């Protein structure tokens, strides 16, 4: 039995795709078994071999001390018989699934697959991809027959990038297999590292569906919060205050408005709606939520411009600093970040944008969006500041220090000079500094008392 051979280190596990999901899996299994970590990115492999973790998911020390055999040589996959594929599943510009990475990984593994192997997919897909798309590729490339020469299963990743509490080991793992024997093998292998235990799904399609709706559910709930934010802003009501009050009820679901990006929540719902449309059903709720969330970056930019006009700033040629460009806080991942929507919209108005983000992956940021970052100490003489991502590095910045970053030269109209000159709070003049606090990091009352024109979702 392959499970016994794995725990006796007679057979190896391979992890294909060593990104934010694959790396933690490889490192975790290396504590219990022999692991081959494969990625076609040679530069990434060299970093791992040097003990450097660019994903920040497990840390440099864990990478340096682990026993994972990192390689970009695909033929090394022939040395393993339990294979885990953990590659991204992005979307195309038209919001259709881009299965290129998972097809490519299947092709690479297929031509190196040996008899008696078990292949487990972790990538988020719509129901049917594993069996209807990936298996034929494995069969074609290997010349082997699924069900006889090799088996397949699916175990959706649930890793939350940047989250040090909810990790691979602490989250219940959904597992599935093409038959009972395969399911048992996959479950027992994952139980080696998943302390929270595993849940055995009835079928591969059930497991695929379960994963895709997890993020669709979050997406819809956040869309509801974003729509509430739009409504309450029009009514002059603070959304955060409303949610705080509503949250006192025991069964109120605590979501907050914000930008929805990344490789999961902002992508997975499109996989489900694509499959739904393929079988003749046009999604209504899911796509409505997606439309709201996809437009929030533009909405933030538009309200930034409105606040700048209120502050009597000249828009064309003004400078706006944006703090945070990753898709979520405390994570270097910039894939599908919706902060870029704010940037592009502001640039349409002729605004010069400075981006500050000490933890963003600078190479990915430039390669994907042609955006460079600047250091915090270089931010000065700006006309507005947007805190888009609440990194922990930003939470120590005081409103007093933020105020020093603004341009002291303003373009006030004559009838506003008396009003501006007469406004003092805590010994500081009201310079009409525009502060856009997307996630509500700062105290609204204090900011307004200090003379900021303050706005948040």
φ and ψ of 255, to 5 deg: -110, 160
Q: In residues, how long is the chain?
A: 457
Nearest to 36 by CA among 78, 4, 70: 70
CA distances, 309 to each of 131, 412, 416, 434 (Å): 56, 10, 13, 10
Q: Is 264 a catalytic residue?
A: yes
- Longest C-alpha distance within the chain, in Å? 85
Element housing 434 (H / E)? strand 433-437
d(CA 331, CA 321): 20
Given the residues 66, 134, 264, 433, select the one marked as catalytic.
264
C-alpha torsion angle, residues 130, 136, 272, 364 (rounded to 10) = 80
CA distance 326 to 207: 29
Query: Distance between CA atoms of 371 and 391, rounded to whole angstroms?
Result: 19
- Token digits for 231? 């409504």
List Cα–Cα distances, 305 to 294, 320, 385, 452, in angstroms. Answer: 19, 10, 11, 15
DSSP string, 258-312: ----TTTTTTHHHHHHHHHHHTT---SHHHHHHHHHHTHHHHHHHHHHHHHHHTT
Q: Which residues are catalytic?
A: 264
């Amino acid at each position: 039995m392959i499970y016994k051979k794995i725990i006796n280190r007679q057979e190896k596990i391979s992890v294909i795709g060593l990104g934010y999901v694959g790396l933690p899996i490889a490192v975790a299994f290396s504590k219990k078994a022999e692991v081959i970590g494969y990625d076609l990115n040679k530069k990434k492999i060299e970093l791992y071999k040097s003990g450097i973790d660019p994903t920040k998911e497990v840390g440099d020390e864990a990478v340096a001390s682990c026993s994972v055999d990192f390689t970009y040589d695909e033929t090394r996959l022939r040395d393993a018989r339990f294979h885990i594929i953990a590659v991204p599943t992005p979307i195309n510009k038209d919001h259709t699934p881009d299965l290129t990475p998972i097809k490519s990984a299947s092709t690479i593994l297929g031509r190196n697959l040996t008899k008696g192997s078990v292949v487990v997919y972790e990538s988020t897909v719509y129901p049917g991809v594993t069996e209807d798309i990936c298996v034929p590729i494995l069969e074609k490339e290997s010349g082997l027959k699924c069900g006889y020469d090799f088996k397949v299963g699916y175990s959706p990743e649930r890793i939350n990038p940047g989250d040090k509490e909810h990790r691979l080991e602490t989250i219940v793992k959904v597992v599935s297999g093409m038959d009972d024997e395969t399911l048992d093998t996959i479950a027992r292998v994952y139980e080696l590292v998943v302390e929270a235990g595993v849940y055995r799904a009835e079928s591969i399609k059930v497991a695929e569906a379960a994963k895709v709706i997890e993020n669709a559910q979050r997406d819809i709930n956040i869309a509801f919060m974003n729509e509430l934010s739009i409504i309450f802003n029009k009514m002059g009501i603070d959304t955060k205050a409303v949610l705080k009050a509503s949250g006192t009820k025991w069964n109120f679901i605590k979501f907050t408005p914000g930008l929805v990006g990344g490789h999961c929540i902002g992508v997975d719902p499109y996989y489900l709606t694509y499959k739904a449309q393929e079988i003749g059903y046009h999604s209504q709720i899911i796509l409505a939520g997606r439309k709201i969330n996809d437009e929030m970056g533009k909405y933030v930019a538009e309200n930034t411009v409105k606040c700048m006009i209120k502050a009597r700033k000249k828009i064309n040629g003004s400078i706006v600093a944006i703090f945070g460009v990753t898709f979520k806080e405390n994570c270097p991942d910039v894939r599908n970040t919706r902060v870029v929507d704010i940037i592009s919209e502001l640039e349409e108005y002729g605004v010069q944008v400075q981006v500050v983000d000490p933890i963003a992956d600078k190479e990915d940021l430039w390669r994907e969006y042609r955006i460079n970052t600047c250091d915090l100490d270089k931010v000065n003489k700006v006309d507005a500041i947007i805190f888009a991502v609440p990194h922990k590095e930003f939470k120590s910045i005081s409103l007093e220090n933020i105020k020093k970053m603004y341009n002291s030269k303003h373009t006030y109209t004559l009838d506003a000079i008396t009003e501006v000159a007469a406004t003092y709070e805590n010994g500081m003049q009201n310079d009409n500094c525009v502060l856009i606090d997307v996630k509500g990091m700062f105290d609204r009352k204090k900011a307004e008392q200090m003379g900021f024109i303050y706005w948040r979702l």
